[in-house]
Structure 1
Amino acid sequence: MSSPFPTPPPCSNTPKNPSPRALLSDTQFNDVRATVLDNNPGMEPEMASRLVIEALKFVSAASLFPTVRIAPTREVDEGWHALILHTHLYASLTSRLGRMVHHYPERPDASRHDPDVLTRTVALIEQAGYTVDRELWLGPEKSLVSVAANCSHTPVPGGCGPINPGNCATHGGGGE
């Protein structure tokens, strides 16, 4: 006997990647979040968690799309900085994701801000299977929270730019 209810279609919005939170153990996540909190006195732990989660999404997308120039907001960059400071954890994470995602900091300069880079970055994070925390991807004029991170990132036409997960001879593969 057939069911009176139609079979539902398969879910099409299932993430291609695991939860970004699952990329780190509880201990690792808490250590990185503690670094964000230490660098930003008075920040709520929930906000620090959001920054780290968005940074994990960003690094994952950067590793999946190595030829596309993307950049984080200052808020997300704060979470990324905390990840990078845990060097062994960061090296292990990026190795599991498939490639090192280097960090090329620049001093903040509003004249270099390119709103298209954030649109492109958000689109690639979503293409990687994640849902972005839109409040943390608004750009410098609409920051949700003040953070200690004091660098910005802008793509450089014809160059490798500050965010390029692959190797780039002009920057020598260095980074922060």
Structure 2
Amino acid sequence: MTVAQENVQAPPDPRALVSPAAFAGITETVLTNNPDMDRTTAERIVAEAIKFEAACAQSRLRLKPSRVVDEGWHALILHTRVKAELARKIGLFVHHVPEPPGPERHDPDALVRTQDAIRAAGYVPDPELWAAPTDGTIAVAATCEHSEPPPAGCGADCSNTGPN
């Protein structure tokens, strides 16, 4: 092993931002909403939703989850105590603005920008989970595709640019 290889640190584990029980509970919510999904995929989705939250807390850009990651984010949102504790750890409560499904509003640059923000937060995005909303490789119950920017007058978005 070279000195350069020894100095390379592995990216942080997003699971460390929540307790093992909390991670398992959020994963169970994803599995309940997606009964045909395997546990490994559900865990990947939950981990990516946590990375998304961490990136939102650090970025001043408007970020949005992919349709697949949104499945995990919605599950996280349902676990309000976990979400509140996560907000304390990452320094910001990340708000969600619900809107009707609309893949026609898809902005591929927003998904690239969000993955870049995840990298800037120190994490590595799982590229398979950041596909366009019409990609059915990973089937999820969610049909959400957040628009960019958020609807006029909503006052918040999926980043830290909205009110706390």
Classify the TM-score, shorter chain: 0.7 to 0.9
Deviations 1:74-121 (CA, angstroms, capped at 9, x unpaired):
110110111110101101111110000001122121221111000100
Where does 1:37-116 land on structure 2 (aligned, <5 Å)? 37-65=31-59, 67-116=60-109
Which range is displaced more, 153-162 or 32-41?
153-162
Structure 2 gap ranges (5+): none
How many Å apart are 1:158 and its aligned residue? 10
Distance 1:149 1:120, change over 3 A: same
Which range is displaced more, 105-114 or 94-103?
105-114
Kindly provide the amino acid, as one letter, of the partner of residue 56 in structure 2: A
Kindly provide the amino acid, as one letter, of the partner of residue 62 in structure 1: C
1:129 aligns with 2:122: yes
Q: What's 2:28 paired with? A: 34
Q: Among all aligned residue pairs of Structure 1 and Structure 2, give the percentage whose two residues are the same amino acid.
A: 44
**1:117, 1:154 within 8 Å by CA — same for their partners in 2?**
no
Cα RMSD of the aligned pairs, angstroms, is 2.2
Kindly provide the amino acid, as one letter, of the partner of residue 167 in structure 1: G
Q: Choose which of 146, 156, 160 in structure 2 pairs with 1:165.
A: 160
How many Å apart are 1:11 and its aligned residue? 2.5
> Take 1:55 and 1:11, find their aligned partners in 2: how far apart are those partners?
28
How many Å apart are 1:141 and its aligned residue? 2.5
The size of the alignment, in residue pairs, is 161
How many Å apart are 1:12 and its aligned residue? 4.5
Structure 1 gap ranges (5+): none
When Rg is computed on C-alpha atoms for both structures, the one with the higher figure is 1
> Take 1:56 and 1:121, find their aligned partners in 2: how far apart are those partners?
13
When the two structures are superposed, what TM-score results if normalisation uses the length of structure 1? 0.82
When the two structures are superposed, what TM-score results if normalisation uses the length of structure 2? 0.88
Kindly provide the amino acid, as one letter, of the partner of residue 3 in structure 2: P
